[in-house]
Structure 1
Amino acid sequence: MIKALITSLESGMGNNLKFVGIANYTRLFTDDIFKKAVTNTLIYLVVQVPIMILLALFISVMLNDKNLKLKGFFRTAIFLPCVTSLVAYSVIFKSLFSNDGLMNNLLINIHLITTPIEWITSPFWAKITIIIAITWRWTGYNMIFYLAGLQNIDPSIYEAARIDGATGVKQFFHITVPLLKPIILFTTVMSTTGTLQLFDEVMNITKGGPGNASTTISQYIYNLSFKYSPNFGYAAAVSFTIVIMIAVLSLIQFKVAGDEK
């Protein structure tokens, strides 16, 4: 990390680097591609993370029901996506969401659409495809944390609430959510960190396209290092913007959660 910080203050080709001070950082403010990559990444963060956290919490509550049959099967089925290969599942999603892929054929057959949706080649739908993909993969991962937390809540608390006339909804918001607060905070911070570093799905599904409509910061770092004329100094500077964003957003999340430790 120290070497990367030093590199971010340098510029040049290969090992022929020279010190340029904060020139790489000032360049960020006039770099339209960087601004687009940051905007795209924040869109993924703001839209996908809340959906994934709420979905994982909802599923974990359902799968914690003692009367539910085949709980082991459902837990395994929902968790399995997060152990699949990033590249493999991205390639499968690209096939599923192609113009003549399974998703379009299904929507046409049930008469929800009349013409194929351009999931990969439309700036708007490309983002939606990425959001669907990462939600599918990581929801089960967060679900496991919530399940572990739910199983550590004393059942007598819920029994007392039911005796007092609390409905299932009231139990959820006044017992489940408050007691899972540390885990919700943990999964939110981890999901934020992961989304800000999003690379594999975008690289393999849309390649950042069309144009730079779905490019993320991590993909832009890759392009600066290996696709465009190699500029490791500027790429390192862009990398440190992720570090700063993670630090700031994590601090905000801890403050909003009211965590004093």
Structure 2
Amino acid sequence: MTLTMTRRRAAGTGSARPRRSFVTRRNIPYLLILPALLGFVVFKAYPILAALYISLTTGAGAARHFVGMDNYVRLVNDPLFWTSLWNTAQILIVQVPLMLLLALLLALGLDSAAVKLRGLWRLGVFMPSLTGLVAYGVMFSVILNKNTGLLNWLLDLVGIDPVNWLGSPFWARISIIIALTWHYTGYNAVIYLAGLQSIPKELYEAAMVDGAGAGRRFVSVTIPQLRPILLLTVVLSTIGTLQLFDEPFVLTGGGPDNATLTISLYLYQNGFRYFDFGYAAAIAYALTLIVAGFGILQLKLTGGRR
């Protein structure tokens, strides 16, 4: 009997499978991306889904209750939302083309061999984009001050009456456009400069052999070669302007008379001034749809090519 039990134990021991480790060569790639995946879920996916739920509710804390699409219906019927959208559109229509045109002209100048100390000039052009948003907003609030501002002082030297830059609806929008153009033109100029330097010189030489002048070379060689970069900067600048917040918040606070109230600033006011988080989340999702629309527009313009 003892011999039989010994054999059974031996047989049982021999048939036991070894424990497999979870860390295998096949699983290592998944383990490596796990921290990034967890970070995305915690800091991206969850806030997005939580904001979607909040946009369907009203109240705060334990008093929050589900209201369905009421916040979105309220959004469509809110004249102040449409005012903020129209203000943003006005700034976008003027500022983005002006900024990109200046950036292209600067890039062409900085790419010219006739310019001396090009490295220094390139650094000077790019420096404004390194300035903090709030810092340069405060700087422009001082420059554009009606009574003690530098700009009105310069206008007074040439006999022009002081302009109420931040107190007039029209000039307040112009002030926002000036600040944005100063801050972001150099950034786009550097992008265009990189694109210009990547154009093969043989294309210009072939155009010159065919008798093309400087203007013709610019239209037939430079612009087609820069087309993907031009589209990229147009879309990025448009999306950035749609999310405009810092400049109107620091310079005008959305005034005067809501003349510089943008979508992002209106979102902020509802969320952190009036604590209407449900409505603020609905505005955020409306803004997301608008931005997504411009992303789709980019795909249409580029034909789906990268």
Q: Which has the larger radius of gyration?
A: 2
What is the alpha-carbon distance in structure 1 between the residues aligned to residue 179 and residue 62 of structure 2?
Answer: 38
What is the alpha-carbon distance in structure 1 between the residues aligned to residue 68 and residue 121 of structure 2?
Answer: 54
34, 48, 67: which one aligns with 2:95: 48
**1:29 counterpart = 2:76:** yes
What is the alpha-carbon distance in structure 2 between the residues aligned to residue 122 and residue 12 of structure 1?
Answer: 36
Give 3-state SS (helix, strand or coil) of 1:142's partner.
Answer: helix
Give 3-state SS (helix, strand or coil) of 1:211's partner.
Answer: coil
8, 11, 20: which one aligns with 2:58: 11
Task: Report which stretch shifted further, 84-93 or 66-75.
Answer: 66-75
Q: Which protein, 1 or 2, shows the higher relative CO under an 8 Å CA cutoff with sep ≥ 6?
A: 1
Contact map agreement 1:93 1:133 (CA 8 A) in 2: yes
Are the structure 2 counterparts of residues 184 and 91 from structure 1 closer, same or farther at C-alpha, using a change threshold of 3 Å?
same
1:105 is matched with 153
Instruction: Write the deviation string for residues 187-213 of structure 1: whole angstroms up to 9, x where unpaired.
Output: 111111111111111100111111211
CA drift of 1:149 comes to: 1.0
Q: TM-score, with normalisation over the residues of structure 2?
A: 0.81
Give 3-state SS (helix, strand or coil) of 2:58's partner.
Answer: strand
1:248 is matched with 293
Are the structure 2 counterparts of residues 19 and 172 from structure 1 closer, same or farther at C-alpha, using a change threshold of 3 Å?
same
Contact map agreement 1:185 1:254 (CA 8 A) in 2: no
Give 3-state SS (helix, strand or coil) of 1:66's partner.
Answer: coil
What is the alpha-carbon distance in structure 2 between the residues aligned to residue 247 and residue 200 of structure 1?
Answer: 22
Are the structure 2 counterparts of residues 226 and 163 from structure 1 closer, same or farther at C-alpha, using a change threshold of 3 Å?
same
- Structure 1: give runs of 5+ residues left out of the alignment: none
Letter in 2 for 1:212: N
Task: Report which stretch shifted further, 179-188 or 125-134.
Answer: 179-188
What is the alpha-carbon distance in structure 1 between the residues aligned to residue 62 and residue 179 of structure 2?
Answer: 38
Task: Report which stretch shifted further, 10-19 or 160-169.
Answer: 10-19
- Percent identical among aligned pairs is 47
**1:71 counterpart = 2:86:** no
What is the alpha-carbon distance in structure 1 between the residues aligned to residue 284 and residue 207 of structure 2?
Answer: 49
Aligned residues: 258
Q: Name the Cα RMSD after superposition.
A: 1.3
Letter in 2 for 1:138: Y
267, 284, 289: which one aligns with 1:239: 284
What is the alpha-carbon distance in structure 2 between the residues aligned to residue 150 and residue 105 of structure 1?
Answer: 39
218, 234, 238: which one aligns with 2:264: 218
Contact map agreement 1:122 1:210 (CA 8 A) in 2: yes
**1:200 counterpart = 2:225:** no
